[in-house]
């Protein structure tokens, strides 16, 4: 095996040669002429002059050697369905979807918004977009109309693909009414809506706009749709992520760089081999679903499991039964899910034959040591933490088991991954912190490696100002996370430097929740902070100033208003953004210049020292919060 330190060093110091080698892991119609063009920092162009296609690399190129091998394994414990698609069958379904999209007027570079549950048709939709050079934008199926509308507005899709409903815990969640309301709210109107009817709820179709997938699919059972070869730098998709402002950011991903980054990660990080099975328990609405349910495993020639359902239904052994049944070799989940399983019967971990499983990878939020230890002992398999973001598309920190067999450390996602020039910087001076165990901002020197975001969709200025200008005197990419690095080069992530919180792996901007709560007619002002939670990592906690305090003079009044606010947030942003509690105060803690002391509020909620409060306008404001959270 290669020495990892040397492997990583070469990826930075001999960048073009290193990534030129990785580029051989994918197919090209036209070979790249230049590996990296960084003539206009911080914008990096990878594999310039090359043409390729993401769907070709995920599906078509495997037909020669493994047409009848399993490619997509769809399992729903919500509807009790299970269906395995071979690469040949997946190829046929993707062409049918591509033909339907073309009939609806979708061309290269057009946007298609996908708002779907975890069903096989959602995978067909993503791959069909990639096939014809359209840019897909997947929105998590749990998002409410307000959030969906802002994404429709920003992406301006020609077509939206959705379904009658998703299902959670055996209960149907109607998508069509949410979508209709979102389209009503958005100034951009799609030309067509394509709907998968699962038979879960009745749908009202809008004449001339809405089309049923099943009917249109029938017309194209044998239609051949060739891959559209696109420039390596052509956008493959946009994926919206919360920011510190209310407007979500459309992370824009390229095609060639992404294909290469995923192919390399499957080899060097996840050690996944063609013919094996990969199981990621995420959702296609999140970046993990894009990279490691759909594209990564398929590019590597693996079968991928697409699971709709809870980790505890019918019981806490459902995931492990799938590992046994489909001989899963690589599994990817989130710490929150493991904490949920920790409450189940531990015998379920021993009930199934997990001998095929080589490792369990976890990401989404920081992995605490007790959880890591519990699942490690329960499975008897390596637990590999990894740290990355929607923006990067693949891991920044991990242990690259395919390069060398470095040990893992509980509580650490590992070392800097090849291609990432990771630094710890002082947030005030920009100075690099080279000593062990010094706390700094985790930052990356440009160029970002292949597969990372090209820019923010439609807003280059926001890309630069958001990510590249926050560290004084340096143009570096900020992850907005605090971290330390030990003497062995292992990083430990300590939490956010900004106002984005992480609830069970879902990134939420506190500003978005605040804007939703502020819309209530009786709320004058509100502050939302993320508070540590044993199960979910963090939960949102809201503190609101009421215009008329008589409304919350008694317990009944407080509960009534809190309920109204919860319902409001549910409607705007979805249940995932609902605060754990809304508490009512007469004043919010601020500096004399009017800046909200969020970190102090968070510290009080978590029982920590709020730090230096000499700049605080009204010391009683924080005491009020302290009294509320300790009562």
* 404-418 pLDDT tens trace: 988 999 889 999 999
Contacts of 434 (CB under 8 A, 6+ apart): none
Q: Examine residue 538 and state whether it is found in any structural domain, yes or no.
A: yes
| pLDDT > 80? residue 496 | no
pLDDT by residue (tens digit) across 520-531?
Answer: 988 888 889 889
- Of the candidates 368, 415, 402, 404, the one whose C-alpha atom is nearest the C-alpha of residue 535 is 368
| pLDDT > 60? residue 123 | yes
Phi/psi region, residue 291 (left: phi>0; alpha: psi -120 to 50; beta: rest), is: alpha
Residue 456 to residue 206: CA distance in whole angstroms: 33
pLDDT by residue (tens digit) across 431-440?
Answer: 999 999 998 9
Share above pLDDT 70 across residues of the chain, in percent, rounded to a whole number:
97
Q: What angle do CA 594, 595, 600 make, to 5 degrees?
A: 125
Q: Examine residue 165 and state whether it is found in any structural domain, yes or no.
A: no
Q: What angle do CA 450, 456, 457 make, to 5 degrees?
A: 110
Q: Cβ distance 265 to 287 under 8 Å? A: no
3-state secondary structure of 361: strand
Q: Examine residue 571 and state whether it is found in any structural domain, yes or no.
A: yes
Residue 194 to residue 597: CA distance in whole angstroms: 46
Q: Examine residue 169 and state whether it is found in any structural domain, yes or no.
A: no
Which tokens hold the place of 464? 């630069």
Assign 3-state DSSP to the chain and report helix, strand, coil percentages, each to 5.
35, 25, 40
In which band, very low, low, confident or very high, does the pLDDT at 613 lie, cut at 50, 70 and 90? low
Query: 495 or 22: which carries more pLDDT confidence?
Result: 22
Q: Examine residue 270 and state whether it is found in any structural domain, yes or no.
A: no
Q: Examine residue 531 and state whether it is found in any structural domain, yes or no.
A: yes
Q: Examine residue 581 and state whether it is found in any structural domain, yes or no.
A: yes
Show the domain range for 621: 504-630
| pLDDT > 90? residue 631 | no
| pLDDT > 80? residue 428 | yes
4-13, 372-381, 429-438, 507-516: lowest mean pLDDT where?
507-516
Q: What is the CATH number of the domain that holds 605?
A: 3.30.300.30
Rg for the chain (alpha carbons), in Å? 24
Q: Going along 254-363, which residue ranges are E strands?
A: 277-280, 303-308, 328-333, 359-362
Residue 392 to residue 430: CA distance in whole angstroms: 22
pLDDT by residue (tens digit) across 230-258?
Answer: 999 999 999 998 655 557 899 999 999 99
- Of the candidates 131, 110, 133, the one whose C-alpha atom is nearest the C-alpha of residue 231 is 133
Helix ranges (H only) for 271-313 are 287-289, 296-299
Average pLDDT score over residue span 307-315: 94
Q: Examine residue 496 and state whether it is found in any structural domain, yes or no.
A: no
Taking the CA atoms of residue 213, residue 216, residue 217 and residue 223 in that order, the dihedral angle to the nearest 10 degrees is: -140
Count other C-beta atoms under 10 Å from residue 368's C-beta: 16
- Of the candidates 30, 29, 7, the one whose C-alpha atom is nearest the C-alpha of residue 19 is 7
Per-residue b or e along 135-152, where b marks 16 or more CB atoms closer than 10 Å to that residue's CB = bbbbbbbbbbbbbbbbbb
> What is the pLDDT, as a whole number, of residue 562?
94
Using the 8-state DSSP alphabet, how is residue 622 labeled? H
Tally of structural domains, the chain: 1
């Amino acid at each position: 095996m290669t020495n990892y330190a040397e492997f990583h060093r070469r990826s930075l110091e001999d960048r073009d040669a290193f990534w030129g080698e990785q580029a051989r892991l994918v197919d090209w119609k036209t070979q790249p002429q230049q590996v990296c063009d960084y003539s206009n920092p911080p914008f990096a162009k990878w594999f310039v002059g090359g043409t390729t296609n993401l769907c070709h690399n995920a599906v078509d190129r495997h037909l020669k050697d493994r047409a009848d091998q399993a490619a997509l394994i769809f399992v729903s414990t919500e509807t009790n369905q299970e269906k395995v698609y071979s690469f040949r069958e997946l190829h046929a379904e993707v062409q049918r979807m591509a033909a339907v999209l073309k009939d609806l007027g979708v061309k290269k570079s057009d946007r298609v918004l996908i708002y779907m549950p975890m069903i096989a048709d959602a995978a067909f939709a993503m791959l069909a977009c990639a096939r014809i050079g359209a840019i897909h934008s997947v929105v998590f199926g749990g998002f409410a109309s307000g959030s969906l509308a802002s994404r429709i507005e920003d992406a301006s899709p020609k077509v939206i693909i959705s379904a009658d409903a998703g299902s959670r815990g055996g209960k149907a969640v109607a998508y069509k009414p949410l979508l209709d309301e979102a389209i009503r709210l958005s100034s951009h109107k799609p030309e067509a809506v394509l709907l998968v009817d699962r038979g879960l709820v009745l749908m009202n179709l809008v004449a001339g706009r809405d089309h049923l997938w099943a009917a249109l699919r029938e017309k194209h059972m044998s239609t051949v749709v060739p891959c559209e070869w696109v420039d390596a730098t052509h956008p493959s998709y946009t994926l919206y992520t919360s920011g510190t402002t209310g407007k979500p950011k459309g992370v824009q991903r390229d095609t060639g760089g992404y294909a290469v980054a995923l192919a390399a990660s499957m080899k060097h990080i996840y050690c996944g081999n063609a013919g094996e099975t990969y199981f990621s328990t995420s959702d296609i609405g999140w970046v993990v679903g894009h990279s490691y349910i759909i594209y990564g495993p398929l590019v590597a020639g693996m079968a991928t499991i697409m699971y709709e359902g809870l980790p505890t239904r019918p019981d806490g052994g459902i995931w492990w039964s799938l590992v046994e049944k489909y001989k899963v070799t690589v599994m990817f989940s989130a710490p929150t899910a493991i904490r949920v399983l920790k409450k189940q019967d531990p015998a379920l971990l021993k009930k199934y034959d997990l001998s095929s499983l080589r490792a369990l990878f976890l990401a989404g939020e920081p992995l605490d040591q007790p959880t890591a230890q519990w699942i490690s002992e329960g499975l008897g398999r390596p637990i590999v933490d990894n740290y990355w973001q929607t923006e990067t598309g693949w891991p920044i920190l991990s242990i690259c088991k395919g390069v060398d067999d470095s040990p893992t450390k509980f509580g650490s996602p590992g070392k800097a991954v090849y291609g990432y020039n990771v630094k710890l910087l002082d947030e005030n001076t920009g100075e690099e912190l080279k000593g062990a165990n010094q706390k700094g901002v985790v930052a990356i020197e440009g160029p970002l490696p292949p597969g990372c975001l090209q820019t923010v969709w439609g807003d280059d200025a926001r890309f630069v100002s958001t990510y590249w200008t926050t560290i004084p005197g340096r143009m570096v990419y900020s992850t907005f996370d605090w971290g330390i690095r030990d003497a062995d080069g292992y990083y430990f992530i300590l939490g956010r430097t900004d106002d984005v919180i992480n609830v069970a792996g879902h990134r939420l901007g506190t500003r978005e929740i605040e804007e939703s709560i502020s819309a209530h007619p009786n709320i004058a002002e509100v502050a939302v902070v993320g508070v540590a939670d044993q199960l979910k990592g963090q939960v949102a906690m809201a503190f609101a100033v009421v215009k008329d305090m008589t409304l919350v003079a008694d317990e009944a009044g407080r509960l009534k208003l809190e309920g109204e606010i919860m319902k409001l947030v549910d409607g705007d942003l979805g249940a995932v953004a609902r605060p754990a509690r809304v508490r009512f105060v007469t004043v919010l803690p601020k500096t004399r210049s009017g800046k909200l002391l969020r970190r102090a509020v968070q510290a009080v909620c978590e029982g920590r020292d709020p730090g230096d409060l000499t700049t605080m306008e009204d010391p009683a404001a924080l005491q009020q919060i302290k009294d509320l959270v300790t009562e």
